[in-house]
Amino acid sequence: MKDTKGPQKLSYASAGVDIEAGDEAVRRIKSLARKTFNESVLSEIGSFGGFFKPNLSTFKNPVLISSADGVGTKLKLAFMTGRHDTVGEDLVNHCIDDILVHGARPLFFLDYIATGRLKPEIVAEIVEGLSRGCRNAGVALLGGETAEMPDFYQAGEYDLAGFIVGLVDQDRVINGSTIVEGDVCIGLPSSGLHTNGYTLARKIAFEVAGLKPGEKVTELGTTIDAALMAVHRCYAGVVHPLLDKFNIHGMAHITGGGIPGNLSRIIPDNLSAEIDRSTWQVPPVFAFLQEQGDIELNEMYRAFNMGIGFVIVATASEADKIMDELKKSGESAAKIGQIKEGEVKVKLI
């Protein structure tokens, strides 16, 4: 007998994209983003573009500094634990630190969230972290994009990227070009792995050591997932006051590639930053990963920040003043090295 029902009619929902879920996600995002708005924001979430009118009254020759980044495979920990409210803050702080090294003050932030099947409650958790990071730094969460792509991502997984724009006066741009022999390197402590080295860290913790999320590790004083998910530190609150008082020659955000891979980006040719590894205490999480994975020390310094998340380079006399200022504020910084003549831009001793 002939089927009188005919072929099933297709819809966007039957193909895997839920428009109503997307609308619900936007509704939740609006209230979280609005908490970050200031007098410079001239638009609402949901417009085709975000409107921002910067106050340029304190700038003589303003330069825009921008950056884009992601959280990498730290997201895998969010999937494993079901906790999604910290990765957004990780992302904001990472992006702020990237433009901070050039002396820029952040203006606004945009996000991109892509997932297989959109769940408004998970998107809201992610944006809660984005909003918190932006509020803490006085940055407007100006807009973004949430994409549902069932053919690209596995169920329960998503990707996250961020875009930031900041301002600095042209004559106050910091890029390392003024670094000279005799300058001193000051290291600011990290809060953990930040957002780099997670492919190796996860392999060590969950495959080699055989740990499970929620399992407490005596050496770390907390669970393995809590230690690995510690939020990427934002250095703006510490560094901006220093920029107003001191002549800083260079700064580096210690991300993928560790101290050698990032400090080398600002060291001029024919100079070398000689970093003394005995000048700071490496946090227990790195010692744990090295021991469990039987990782060579040099590899550890290439994969992880090893407890130093940000480096400031200044003259010896300015470095002393900066250290005094940091001590007054309760910051546990350390002089970790000196600039010398050399062909190898970063030398660990």
* Chain segment 95-120, per-residue pLDDT in tens: 999 999 999 999 999 999 999 988 88
- Determine, yes or no, domain membership for 149: yes
Three-state SS at 345: coil
pLDDT of residue 22: 58
Return d(Cα 262, Cα 347) in angstroms, integer. 12
102 and 205 both lie in a single domain = no
pTM of the model: 0.92
Return d(Cα 336, Cα 62) in angstroms, integer. 33
* Angle made by CA atoms 191, 70, 176, in degrees to the nearest 5: 70
Return d(Cα 207, Cα 285) in angstroms, integer. 16
How many structural domains comprise the chain? Answer: 2
- What CATH number corresponds to the domain at position 208? 3.90.650.10
Q: Is the pLDDT of residue 320 over 70?
A: yes
Burial class (CB in 10 A: 0-12, 13-18, 19+), 177: exposed
107 and 131 both lie in a single domain = yes
Average pLDDT, whole number, for the chain?
Answer: 92
192 and 337 both lie in a single domain = yes
- Determine, yes or no, domain membership for 1: no
pLDDT band with cut points at 50, 70 and 90 for residue 7: low
Long-range contact list for 52-60, CB < 8 A, 24+ apart?
Answer: 52/107, 52/108, 52/140, 52/142, 54/107, 54/167, 56/167, 59/167, 59/169, 60/169, 60/170, 60/171
Q: Give yes or no for a contact between 169 and 62, defined as CB atoms under 8 angstroms apart.
A: yes
Q: Give yes or no for a contact between 12 and 108, defined as CB atoms under 8 angstroms apart.
A: no
pLDDT of residue 17: 54
Other CB atoms within 10 A of residue 106 CB = 25
54 and 126 both lie in a single domain = yes
Q: What percent of the chain has pLDDT over 70?
A: 93
Return d(Cα 303, Cα 319) in angstroms, integer. 28
Segment 196-215 shows an average pLDDT of 96
Domain boundary among 146, 172, 198: 172
- Determine, yes or no, domain membership for 202: yes
Return d(Cα 333, Cα 209) in angstroms, integer. 32
203 and 275 both lie in a single domain = yes
251 and 222 both lie in a single domain = yes
pLDDT of residue 27: 75
205 and 162 both lie in a single domain = no
* Angle made by CA atoms 12, 15, 18, in degrees to the nearest 5: 55
Three-state SS at 279: helix
Of the candidates 342, 315, 311, the residue with the CA atom closest to the CA atom of residue 179? 315
- Determine, yes or no, domain membership for 14: no
pLDDT in tens, 146-174: 998 988 988 889 999 999 999 999 999 99
pLDDT in tens, 271-318: 999 999 999 999 999 999 999 999 999 999 999 999 999 999 999 999
Burial class (CB in 10 A: 0-12, 13-18, 19+), 342: middle
pLDDT of residue 5: 58
Looking at the DSSP assignment, which residues form a beta bridge with residue 167? 64, 105
Containing domain of residue 212, as a range?
A: 184-348
Q: Residue 233 — φ and ψ, nearest 5°?
A: -75, 140
271 and 221 both lie in a single domain = yes
Residues 6+ apart with CB under 8 A from 348: 259, 260, 275, 277, 298, 301
- Determine, yes or no, domain membership for 344: yes
In our burial notation (b when 16+ CB lie closer than 10 A, e otherwise), range 282-299 reads bbebbbbbbebbebeeee
Return d(Cα 228, Cα 211) in angstroms, integer. 12
Domain boundary among 172, 207, 237: 172
Segment 210-226 shows an average pLDDT of 96
pLDDT of residue 8: 64
Q: Is the pLDDT of residue 1 over 60?
A: no
Of the candidates 234, 203, 211, the residue with the CA atom closest to the CA atom of residue 76? 203
Check residues 9 and 41 and name the one with the higher pLDDT: 41
- Determine, yes or no, domain membership for 208: yes
